[in-house]
Amino acid sequence: MFELIAFAVNGPAVLGWKNRKDSIRWIRLADMESARSHAASCVADGKLYMIGGSELANDGECYNPITNNGNEFSGFLRGFIKFSPNSRKWEKLKGMNYARGGPTLVASRDFLFVIGGQGPNRNNVAEIEQFDPEKNEWRVVSELKRFSKSRSDLTISFPIPASFPSPNM
């Protein structure tokens, strides 16, 4: 019996928590091209999605934008990647419209949404982007009107455009 129970990203490696005959252990599944800091991730349709952030140097030390310490800041990314446990491979997807560090990535219905984060000049990114996995396309669906100093108290409230697909009921 081989069952994927959880994901963990440790540096550039993705680890899977596997259950084999009642023994649970972490095993290395696949390496990303490079490690990232300040990226967002979520699981949707059994796949791990990771977006934005900045690449880390080979030593894996994180850059801290508040203290300006750590590896030299290389800028935030538009990059978007997907890990499929069945193939154990990463796939590059179309990058979002705005580079971001520290955004929030959520799955809802058949779409992924990236919200908030900081842009290349440390400015807040207001645009809320929607990703359609079937079409591999991004589009801006709304904007944040207020920004919080902490992601932990993020409340999402934005108007849904008339063209937004309704749920199948």
Each domain of the chain, given as residue ranges in start order, spans: 33-149
Which pLDDT belongs to residue 160? 44
Q: What are the backbone angles phi and psi of residue 84, rounded to the nearest 5°?
A: -105, 115
Spell out the residues 6+ positions from residue 60 whose beta carbon is closer than 8 angstroms to its own: 11, 35
Cα separation, 49 vs 127, whole angstroms: 19
Render pLDDT for 95-151 as a digit per residue (tens, 0 to 9).
999 999 999 999 998 999 999 998 877 788 999 999 999 999 999 999 988 765 555
pLDDT tens figures, 48-99? 899 998 876 544 455 555 665 555 555 788 999 998 888 888 999 999 999 9
AA letter at 44: A
Q: Cα(53)–Cα(100) distance, rounded to whole angstroms?
A: 6
Residue 39 or residue 156, greater confidence: 39
14-to-35, 55, 108 alpha-carbon distances in Å: 10, 16, 24
Paired with 42 in beta bridges are 49
Higher pLDDT, 143 or 1: 143
Per-residue model confidence (pLDDT) at position 59: 43
Model pLDDT, residue 134? 92
Residues 41, 52 contacting (CB under 8 angstroms): no
Average pLDDT over residues 28-37: 79
Q: Supply the DSSP string of 74-95, one letter for each residue.
A: ---B--EEEEETTTTEEEEEPP
Q: State the fold for domain 33-149.
A: Neuraminidase (2.120.10)
Tell me what pLDDT residue 86 has. 85
Question: Which of 82, 79, 90 shows the shortest CA–CA distance to 32?
Answer: 90
CA distance 99 to 78: 4
- Checking if the pLDDT of 38 tops 90, the result is no
Query: Mean pLDDT of all residues in the chain?
Result: 74
The yes-or-no verdict on residue 40 having pLDDT over 60 is: yes
Question: Rounded to two decimals, what is the model's pTM?
Answer: 0.71
